[in-house]
Amino acid sequence: MITCKKLHRNSDSFLELPHDQGGVGRHKCAGCAYDRGYESGKKREETIKMDLDSLPDSQAGSVRHKSPHAAFAQGYHDGVKESYNTE
């Protein structure tokens, strides 16, 4: 699997996400999950598919062992809020 090299791996904004070291999404990049959720939220998509298997792995920085589910949900929320600022 591909390993994430994006700068978001070291963003302090992911420090508050819950830890997740097991099950589906283990070692997936929470930063990439957030970005994907943000884009879905900005479009106000009504059918959401996270597809964690397609996310790159990451064991680095602030996204290490963070929940990709929570990151996606936070990104979706932030994207929806931002969508109202662009109308």
Higher pLDDT, 16 or 41: 41
User: Exposure of 6 by Cβ count < 10 A (0-12 exposed, 13-18 middle, 19+ buried)?
Assistant: middle
Higher pLDDT: 81 or 20? It is 81
Q: How many CB atoms are closer than 10 A to CB 33?
A: 30
Band the pLDDT of 87: cuts 50, 70, 90: low
pLDDT tops 70 at residue 77: yes
pTM for the structure as a whole: 0.90
CA atoms within 13 A on the CB side of 72: 15
Contact present, 58 and 31 (Cβ < 8 Å) = yes
